[in-house]
Amino acid sequence: MSMIEGAYDAPGKSADVGVNPYGGHESVQHGDFVTENEERDLRRGLGQRHIQMIALAGAIGTGLFLGLGSSLQTGGPLGALLGYAFVGLIVCAVQFALGEVTALLPVTGSFVRHAEFLVDPAFGFAIGWNIIYGNLLSIPSEISAICVLFQYWTDINPSLWIVIFIVLTFVVGIAFVGIYGEVEFFFALLKIALVVGLIILGLCIDLGGVSGVPRIGFRYWKHPGPFVEHIATGSWGNFLGFWSVMINAVFSFAGVESIAMAAAETKNPRQNIPKACKRVFARVALFYVASVLIVGMLVSSDDERLQDESGTAAQSPFVIAASAAGIKAIPSIVNAVVITSAWSSSNQALLAGTRVLYSLALKKQAPAIFLRTTAWGVPYMCVLLQTVFMFLAFMSLSSSALTVFYWFVDLVGCGVLISWSCVLVNHLRLLAAMKKQGIARTELPWHNKWTPYSSAVALTACLLILLTNGFAVFTRGGWSASSFVSSYLDIPLILVAYLAWKYYKGTKFVALEDIPIRAALDEIRDNPETPEPVRKGWKGVVMKLLWE
């Protein structure tokens, strides 16, 4: 019996009789905070280094390598730097909130299951299906992007690349989850090496360390200036430029919230997932902030080459700077790593989508067929469903079909902000329930003293960005139906799904006093995890720097 089913036992009631949120009663045990299905059918194949690197691999992708140019063009070097720094702080709050709740409830589906446990089953249903829908479409869109990236080198028929990457993605998805962990671990190392290399190269170019290239310094901060006027003029135009950068930055950081989706397949999740949440945000923020700073020093915000919309390495500001310095190998290196980034993103979308679908099936919010797993613990019916949708990538071969395809993708354009908001709402509900029940936060397996404040501030910021992320369509001459759809249609979709399930099943908002936090804490006390071994010597130093 699952933890969520136990969530509806009011204090003082018998431990083996609970109130079903859909009406009626059912037998529950407070000790089962991970379902029997998860314990029996899934396998714990992800270690600490996998979890650390999965989060990094998901967050460092095309948004960093290709997307910084548009942010620089819109906000200027200082506007871009401030935008990414601010969103980095939001990511920090989201990661810490996710770490605190996951340490208490390390279940498959992560914050989707947390939402049902802490808020309302209908809320978990709406968020879960929104994530599934988004991932069903994001995989073929990533495969389509890979086809474009290969066109930088060759004019081979894109159908070949589509078939190859559908097969590769399926193989990784259907294999033991440890294989996925190793693949993402390798990709993350590649990305980190490239980012560090590009930052060092950028500094060398900027400071005049490349033969024949004069020192640039902060020249472009003076002319054309630290900010760029966007839509309006003057200070208001500068602010709108900064705000547009912040919206772009949110989507660049997308993926960090997926770190705990496979918590039931992670070794010692109460130790390893909070560690990853605590450390990953700093590294991701550092990579992005340092990269934005370097790019703002290397390329002028009014450089016409930033307008390149090829979708290949040619639009990367790092490539623009390296090409200007006469370094010919950089474009191909960046293009190759961006291809691995796109494939890494499709792998991560497959993992997140399948585990959320599996978690919904556990709660009878999806057909029971999706509970079927392989002998090595992979929900294969979930993987097969995702694989069927991968063939939508062939729509990219037709211009008219591609337009329709991206309209579907646009429907979940603001899904990342909704997911972050869900993580923060879950955390605030947990804190409110603990206060209501007189349980000290120090009893949590992992906690930080500032998270009650950071979660509230970050939730306010997320909702504000969510409501204003399409502000340009409301300006004079700025109306665009596709932009409006991508910016806002996901909000009513979530509301409709929430209200429909609430009406159909008659679910209720979970009362703070009925959330069995004490039972969860007792479960942790009665089933302690084995402490992670302490690495010593030079290997321990290297591991600590990279992923510990």
Beta bridge partner(s), residue 262: 108
Angle subtended at Cα 406 by Cα 401 and Cα 409, rounded to the nearest 5 degrees? 135
Checking if the pLDDT of 340 tops 50, the result is yes
Instruction: Write out pLDDT tens, residues 285-308.
Output: 778 888 999 999 999 998 888 877
The more confident residue out of 278 and 214 is 214
**CB atoms closer than 10 angstroms to residue 187:** 25
What's the mean pLDDT in 364-371?
Answer: 92
The architecture that CATH gives domain 3-18+46-540 is Up-down Bundle (1.20)
Beta bridge partner(s), residue 16: none
Instruction: Write out pLDDT tens, residues 96-112.
Output: 999 999 999 988 888 99
- At residue 530, the pLDDT reads 72
- At residue 185, the pLDDT reads 87
How far apart are the C-alpha atoms of 527 and 268, rounded to whole Å?
A: 11
How far apart are the C-alpha atoms of 299 and 393, rounded to whole Å?
A: 34
What's the mean pLDDT in 236-256?
Answer: 87
Distances (CA, A) of 36 to 101, 172, 282, 347, 362: 21, 26, 36, 27, 10
Coil vs helix vs strand at 408: helix
Checking if the pLDDT of 345 tops 90, the result is no
- Structure pTM? 0.88
10 Å CB burial of residue 222 (0-12, 13-18, 19+) is: exposed
- At residue 539, the pLDDT reads 61
Q: Which of 421, 435, 422, 424 is nearest to 512 (CA)?
A: 435
Q: Which of 142, 193, 63, 53 is nearest to 339 (CA)?
A: 142
The residues, ordered by sequence, that sit 6+ positions from 428 with a Cβ below 8 Å of its Cβ are 452, 455, 456, 459
CB 95 within 8 A of CB 277: yes
Checking if the pLDDT of 11 tops 50, the result is no
What's the mean pLDDT in 5-34?
Answer: 36
How far apart are the C-alpha atoms of 174 and 25, rounded to whole Å?
A: 37
Q: Which of 55, 94, 72, 123 is nearest to 351 (CA)?
A: 55
The CA radius of gyration of the chain, in Å to the nearest whole number, is 23
The more confident residue out of 434 and 37 is 434
Angle at which helix 415-437 crosses helix 490-505, to 10 degrees, equals: 50
Buried b (16+ CB within 10 A) or exposed e, 368-404: eebbebeeebbbbbbbbbbbebbebbbbbeeeeeeee
**What average pLDDT does the structure give for the chain?**
83
What's the mean pLDDT in 515-535?
Answer: 81
How far apart are the C-alpha atoms of 160 and 158, rounded to whole Å?
A: 5
Q: Is the peptide bond before 224 cis (omega within 30 degrees of 0)?
A: yes
**CB atoms closer than 10 angstroms to residue 16:** 12
- Provide φ and ψ at 25, rounded to 5°: -130, 160
Instruction: Write out pLDDT tens, residues 170-208.
Output: 999 999 888 988 888 888 888 888 888 989 999 999 998
What's the mean pLDDT in 510-524?
Answer: 90
Instruction: Write out pLDDT tens, residues 219-231.
Output: 999 989 999 999 8
The more confident residue out of 340 and 432 is 432
What's the mean pLDDT in 342-363?
Answer: 89
Going by pLDDT thresholds of 50, 70 and 90, the confidence category of residue 542 is: low
- Alpha helix positions (H), 253-329: 269-298, 317-324
- Alpha helix positions (H), 303-398: 317-324, 330-362, 380-390
The residues, ordered by sequence, that sit 6+ positions from 44 with a Cβ below 8 Å of its Cβ are 264, 265, 266, 267
How far apart are the C-alpha atoms of 256 and 238, rounded to whole Å?
A: 29
Give helix then strand counts, H and E, for the chain.
22, 2
DSSP string, 434-496: HHHHT--GGGSSS--TTHHHHHHHHHHHHHHHHHHTTGGGGSTT---HHHHHHHHTHHHHHHH
How far apart are the C-alpha atoms of 133 and 51, rounded to whole Å?
A: 24
- At residue 411, the pLDDT reads 64
Going by pLDDT thresholds of 50, 70 and 90, the confidence category of residue 414 is: confident
- At residue 128, the pLDDT reads 93
CB 353 within 8 A of CB 108: no
The two tokens of residue 473 are 């369509």
Going by pLDDT thresholds of 50, 70 and 90, the confidence category of residue 156 is: confident
Beta bridge partner(s), residue 266: 46
Instruction: Report the percent of the chain where pLDDT is more than 90.
Output: 37
How far apart are the C-alpha atoms of 88 and 95, rounded to whole Å?
A: 10
- At residue 338, the pLDDT reads 85
How far apart are the C-alpha atoms of 28 and 185, rounded to whole Å?
A: 39
- At residue 190, the pLDDT reads 86
DSSP string, 267-281: SSHHHHHHHHHHHHH
10 Å CB burial of residue 147 (0-12, 13-18, 19+) is: buried
Going by pLDDT thresholds of 50, 70 and 90, the confidence category of residue 29 is: very low
CB 247 within 8 A of CB 67: no
Q: Which of 290, 357, 279, 350 is nearest to 55 (CA)?
A: 279
The residues, ordered by sequence, that sit 6+ positions from 315 with a Cβ below 8 Å of its Cβ are 66, 69, 306, 308, 309
**CB atoms closer than 10 angstroms to residue 475:** 11
How far apart are the C-alpha atoms of 51 and 269, rounded to whole Å?
A: 9
The more confident residue out of 444 and 406 is 444
- At residue 545, the pLDDT reads 59
Q: Which of 120, 293, 270, 305 is nearest to 202 (CA)?
A: 293
How far apart are the C-alpha atoms of 110 and 47, rounded to whole Å?
A: 17
Parse the chain into domains and list their residue ranges.
3-18+46-540
- At residue 371, the pLDDT reads 92
CB 50 within 8 A of CB 185: yes
